Amino acid sequence: MATYAIGDIQGCYDEFRLLLSKVQFNPANDRLWLAGDLVSRGPKSLEVLNYAYEHQDLIEVVLGNHDLHLLATYYNQSKLPKKDDLNRVLKASNCQQLMEWLRKQSLAVYDKSLDFLMTHAGVPPEWNLDQTLACAYELEEVLADKDSATHFFKHMYGNKPDHWNKKLQGIDRLRFITNALTRMRFCHQHGSLDFKSKSTPGKQAKGLSPWFELSNIGLEARVVFGHWAALEGKAKAKNIYAIDTGCVWGNKLTALRLEDQKRFHVKALRRWA
């Protein structure tokens, strides 16, 4: 039995299936962890969602920012540009079924036996393992209920508050949790989140550091995360594993076998975004 964590698929379904073939994925014994952003920008978001839904007993999913955007679009009844591939999802005969399943997925997954925590973007500097799981659960509870989820999606977007405070309440608290777990890359030295810089570490504005250089989470658990394609799968911190390697941008799709931390890759068939 093996557990494979796969980085941001983003609609690159064909590359996803090639990667499963490369690792000789066996549904009878193996398991998948999908690190968020299953959809958006690539050509086959619907196919990725259908696969994950049909194999949900084998898969752990954490929501990424693009997955949340799809959910917000659906529940807010918003319109997308005509050429956006997500329109295929929204027009699919099983769209309601897929959206109900998707919004009930996790924001953080932790397996004690594997000693691995997975979130889409990482762990903010001021949180430990227990805090991360507790905050993820808070948001998961809101999303699990259709009415509370619909209310949340109407107020989800925004960059404030950008600093954690345990006294945060309501939408402000939920928005920070969302941004920390699905949008974070760089942080200021005092812990506040920065949403402007998406560069490779070393090219960011003065006073910013990658979240994993400011966090002590690696002392408690190994962390696998996606979201940050510019890292090219390299996070220079002990027990921190970056697996978004920019398939949708024409680079490659990566799987990390959690039991021994061996990496597997397939090249993108083309640049999709």
Mean pLDDT of the chain: 97
The number of folded domains in the chain is 1
Q: How many residues does the chain have?
A: 273
In a domain, 273, yes or no: no
pLDDT band for 198, please (50, 70, 90 cuts): confident
In a domain, 203, yes or no: yes
pLDDT at site 114: 97
Summarised one tens digit per residue, pLDDT across range 134-182 is 999 999 999 999 999 999 999 999 999 999 999 999 999 999 999 999 9
In a domain, 224, yes or no: yes
In a domain, 141, yes or no: yes
On the question of pLDDT at 32 being above 90, the answer is: yes
In a domain, 134, yes or no: yes
Give me the residue label for tokens 């994993």: 212
Residue 152, C-beta contacts closer than 8 angstroms, at least 6 positions apart? 142, 143, 171, 174
pLDDT at site 193: 97
* Amino acid present at 13: Y
pLDDT at site 77: 95
Tell me what the mean pLDDT of segment 219-240 comes to.
97
Tell me what the mean pLDDT of segment 251-267 comes to.
98
In a domain, 115, yes or no: yes
Domain housing 236: 3-267
Could you count the other beta carbons within 10 Å of the beta carbon of residue 90? 18
- DSSP assignment letter at 138: H
Q: Using an 8 Å Cβ cutoff, are 11 and 248 in contact?
A: yes
Say whether 224 sits in a helix, a strand or coil.
strand
On the question of pLDDT at 262 being above 90, the answer is: yes
* Amino acid present at 248: V
Give me the residue label for tokens 């966090």: 215
Tell me what the mean pLDDT of segment 111-123 comes to.
98
pLDDT band for 199, please (50, 70, 90 cuts): confident
How many CA atoms does the CB half-sphere of 225 hold within 13 Å? 32
pLDDT at site 66: 98
Q: What is the CATH number of the domain that holds 15?
A: 3.60.21.10
Tell me what the mean pLDDT of segment 193-214 comes to.
93
Tell me what the mean pLDDT of segment 241-249 comes to.
98
**Closest C-alpha to 245, from 231, 235, 258:** 231
Tell me what the mean pLDDT of segment 95-105 comes to.
98
Q: Which two structure tokens, joined as six digits, stand for 147? A: 């009415």
pTM: 0.97
Could you give the CA distance from residue 248 to residue 264 in angstroms, rounded to a whole number? 17
In a domain, 20, yes or no: yes
In a domain, 192, yes or no: yes
